[in-house]
Amino acid sequence: MLQNYNKYRVLDAFFRRPMTPLQLRQVCRQASLSPPSVKHYLRELIHEGLVLRTRGTIYKAYLANRESEEFRNVRRFTLSIELQPLITRLAKESLPDAIILFGSASQGMDVEESDIDLAVLAEEVAVEIRPFERRLSRKISVHYYPFFGNLSEELKNSILNGIVLYGYVEAYQGREKPFQGKRAPPAGRRETGPPQRDG
């Protein structure tokens, strides 16, 4: 999937608007690809169970298959990569112990009206995030928690069930070993966006 940049661009249209049935021309516009190319990749995505063909409309439309575990997994992975420029900025400015993606986005279940929630284990600093929001087509909520141990158990569990994008976080429960949040797949140290074009 991620080796094929054009196919990713088609799927990205459904990541950005997962609740909206999209007609062919809308996907073409979002992906900046020709109708024949988009049709080809849509057939592949439907076959793979990532996209559904909707029925009962005058014009053929397509919809994200949010029930697909693979759809959610790919969404989590690509969002983790797309967030790296912001994570780099936050890490440089706040010197946190960890930065964690949590909430619906960490489950690959974010929709058009969802916030992307980031827990930053550090004192609050001023970082301009609007350029990153425009790039991701989502509101980004950055939550600063300088003392993780003082948080409620519910909030701690929500954060620990997220994806660690920077650093690490430990939570002790009785005599159990420290719990470490899930880590995003390695994305390298360079600032990067979506997968690069082939050739």
pLDDT band for 4, please (50, 70, 90 cuts).
confident
Specify the pLDDT at position 29: 97
Residue-wise pLDDT tens digits, 31-52: 999 999 999 999 999 999 999 9
Separation between Cα atoms, residue 142 and residue 106, nearest integer Å = 14
Specify the pLDDT at position 171: 55
Domain 5-65 coded CATH 1.10.10.10: yes
Residue-wise pLDDT tens digits, 54-108: 876 678 899 999 999 999 999 999 999 999 999 999 999 999 999 999 999 999 9
Separation between Cα atoms, residue 28 and residue 38, nearest integer Å = 6
Specify the pLDDT at position 56: 62
- Domain(s) labelled CATH 1.10.10.10 in the chain stretch across 5-65
Round the average pLDDT of the chain to a whole number and report it.
Answer: 86
pLDDT band for 117, please (50, 70, 90 cuts).
very high
pLDDT band for 3, please (50, 70, 90 cuts).
low
* Percent of the residues in the chain that have a pLDDT greater than 70, as a whole number: 83
Specify the pLDDT at position 1: 52
Q: What is the CATH number of domain 73-183?
A: 3.30.460.10
Detail the DSSP E strand segments found in the chain. 22-23, 51-54, 61-64, 98-102, 115-120, 139-144, 163-167, 170-171, 179-180, 182-183
Specify the pLDDT at position 2: 54
Specify the pLDDT at position 169: 78
